[in-house]
């Protein structure tokens, strides 16, 4: 295989999420924008929305699980996001966000189940195809499905022959199970080091994935961990576990797409590498 990386870990906010967040924030009219924006997120979307809001000069209200990575909490605060912590469950995140919506009047921007977000995330695929129109396939991670949905729409619109694969952690495989069964199956008790992919696939996202994706492959945490360390040691690239899942899947299945030119979306780099290495070596 010949691999072409889309390095979204090099974004200013550390992940592809800046694309959708900027599209959402800058599409608000003045009256909406004045009240600010609000979301719930484990980190990358939170940081991206905070950055976009800061650039427009409006407030960002962020609901984060209390076990969110310290690196991501610092990013959100650095971009001016006002954080409210909650229990690390989707129900707690949604309930806390609903309460804040009533008190702030802010516009809710869902991390992935939002057409503005999906459209913004798709620009990563647009740029990848502009740079490498000769690709045979592309592989992207899937959690909530915003990036994958945008990738699929762009790829299949411009290159219907292009194969689009998704990669998902074995311990958070709701997208795979939903795709296999042709019905949306919620994520329950995900167990993976890829914290950004623990979310449930969104309704809008599933509709797009079900129609357009060519394959969804699963990868275990051990391979994900090894891939993070390999990129760090060999290329000095700090890519978070969620971001390396597509590459980890290809490394685990090296004959899956033989002889192909494959675009690999490395979706983010917000990881405390010291804590990660300590955990990996313990």
Spatial neighbors of 42 by CB under 8 A, at least 6 apart, are 64, 65, 68, 69, 72, 195, 196, 198, 199
Task: Give strand pairing partners of 98.
Answer: none
Q: Which among 189, 228, 17 is positioned nearest to 111, based on CA atoms?
A: 17
pLDDT score for 273: 63
Give every residue of the chain whose pLDDT is below 70, as ranges.
Answer: 272-282
Q: Which among 122, 118, 140, 137 is positioned nearest to 217, based on CA atoms?
A: 140
CATH architecture group of domain 2-12+115-281: 3-Layer(aba) Sandwich (3.40)
Range(s) of the chain covered by CATH 3.40.50.1100: 2-12+115-281, 17-108
Q: Which among 242, 219, 199, 223 is positioned nearest to 9, based on CA atoms?
A: 242
- Class of 17-108 in CATH: alpha beta
pLDDT score for 119: 98
- Whether the CB-CB separation of 239 and 113 falls below 8 Å is answered with no
pLDDT score for 71: 81
Per-residue burial over 144-177, b if 16 or more Cβ lie within 10 Å, else e, is bbbbbbbbbbbbbeebeebbbbbbbbbbbbbbbb
């Amino acid at each position: 295989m010949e691999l072409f990386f889309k390095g979204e870990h090099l974004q200013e906010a550390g992940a592809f999420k800046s694309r959708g967040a900027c599209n959402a924030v800058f599409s608000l009219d003045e009256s909406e924008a004045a009240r600010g924006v609000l979301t719930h997120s484990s980190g990358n979307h939170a940081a991206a929305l905070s950055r976009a809001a800061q650039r427009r000069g409006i407030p960002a209200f962020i609901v984060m699980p209390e076990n969110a990575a310290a690196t991501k909490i610092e990013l959100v605060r650095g971009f001016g996001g006002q954080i409210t912590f909650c229990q690390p469950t989707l129900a707690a995140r949604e309930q806390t966000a609903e309460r804040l919506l009533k008190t702030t009047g802010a516009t809710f921007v869902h991390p992935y189940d939002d057409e503005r977000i999906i459209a913004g995330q798709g620009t990563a695929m647009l740029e990848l195809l502009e740079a490498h129109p000769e690709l045979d396939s592309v592989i992207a991670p899937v959690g909530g499905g915003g990036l994958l949905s945008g990738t699929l729409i762009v790829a299949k619109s411009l290159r219907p022959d292009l194969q689009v694969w998704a990669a998902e952690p074995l311990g958070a495989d709701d997208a795979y199970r939903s795709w296999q069964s042709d019905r949306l199956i919620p994520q329950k008790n995900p167990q993976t080091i890829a914290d950004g992919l623990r979310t449930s696939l969104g309704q809008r996202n599933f509709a797009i994935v079900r129609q357009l994706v060519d394959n969804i492959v699963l990868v275990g945490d051990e391979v994900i961990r090894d891939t993070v360390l390999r990129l760090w040691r060999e290329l000095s690239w700090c890519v978070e576990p969620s971001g390396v899942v597509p590459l980890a899947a290809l490394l685990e299945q090296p004959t899956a797409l033989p002889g192909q030119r494959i675009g690999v979306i490395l979706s983010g780099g917000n990881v405390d590498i010291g804590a990660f290495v300590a955990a990996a070596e313990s």
